[in-house]
Amino acid sequence: MASTRLRSRSLLGSSKKMLDCLDALTCAICLEVFEKPMMISCGHIYCNGCLSSYDSLSEPLCPLCRSKFSPTRRKKAIEVEKEITSSKSLCCGCEKKMSVSKLRSHQTSCSKLAKAAQSIKFTPVAKTSQSPPSNIPNRATFACPICGHRNLDTYDLVKHCNDKHSKNCSPMVCPICAAMPWGDPTLKSSNFVQHLNVRHRFEYDTYVDYSIDDEEALKAAISASLKEM
């Protein structure tokens, strides 16, 4: 995979052009069009929000070249930002032509793109003796039930709702709870944002074994507690 730094330079210089490939304007962390692109010391570029998750690390490594960098010393990638605002591209769902700067927000609510994503079926890359799994719920990423923003993991959903919807006290179905084996897709939390902050400050995957039923999970919990006594 060529570096974001090298690919972005090859596109810079012209304006008001149509782009068929957005690789040079795509963040290698979130795989979306850059949002507030920032350059780190090695020259690679990422979204400012994506780099924020590295702020608490003492010696973070660049996801592309594995070089050490200082999160506080990132700087605006002005040329890439200009490229985003001056170029146009097509939504791969509805094929509507628009500014690249608007593409990211548009794709979170594009019904045709969402329908296409739902139609994708799992197929094994090679023949196997096992049957491919079916109807596997997505417990990795979620959509914000308030604004529809998609592809958020638990941490990002909590952060997104606190940043964008902190004053919203509307009752909502929690997508994280609804995706769990015990989840009720019709149950609404009276205050969704407050529910997120109380219940979802951790990843369920850390504590839950989805392959066992409730009775086995209870036995495992009792056994673990007795060992700690």
Nearest CA to 80 out of 25, 117, 129, 32 is that of: 25
The one-letter code for the residue type at 87 is S
135: pLDDT strictly greater than 70 = no
What is the Rg, in whole angstroms, of the alpha carbon atoms belonging to the chain? Answer: 21
174: pLDDT strictly greater than 90 = yes
Residue 124: phi and psi, rounded to 5, are: -65, 150
Strand order in the sheet with 75-76: 45-47, 37-39, 75-76
Q: pLDDT above 90 covers what percent of the chain?
A: 23
For residue range 74-85, what is the model confidence (pLDDT) as tens digits? 999 999 999 888
What is the average per-residue pLDDT within 56-77?
A: 89
| pLDDT at res. 208 | 59
> Is-contact 84 17, C-beta < 8 A?
no
Question: Which residue did the predictor score with more confidence, 126 or 51?
Answer: 51
| pLDDT at res. 8 | 36
Q: Which residues, other chains included, contact 46 with Cβ-Cβ below 8 Å and sequence gap of 6+?
A: 4, 27, 28, 29, 34, 37, 38, 40, 63
Question: Which residue did the predictor score with more confidence, 208 or 169?
Answer: 169
Question: Which residue did the predictor score with more confidence, 21 or 197?
Answer: 197
User: What mean pLDDT is reported for the chain?
Assistant: 79
The residues facing 61 across adjacent strands are: 68
For residue range 180-190, what is the model confidence (pLDDT) as tens digits? 877 788 888 88
| pLDDT at res. 3 | 41
| pLDDT at res. 163 | 92
Which band of pLDDT confidence, cut at 50, 70 and 90, is reported for residue 217? low
How many residues belong to the chain? 229
SS3 of residue 23 by DSSP: helix
Residue with tokens 């097509």: 90
Distance CA 102, CA 159 (A): 22
Question: Which residue did the predictor score with more confidence, 130 or 87?
Answer: 87
What's the distance, CA 96 to chain centroid? Answer: 23
Q: Which residues, other chains included, contact 106 with Cβ-Cβ below 8 Å and sequence gap of 6+?
A: 91, 96, 98
Give me 190's structure tokens: 């009276």
pTM: 0.47
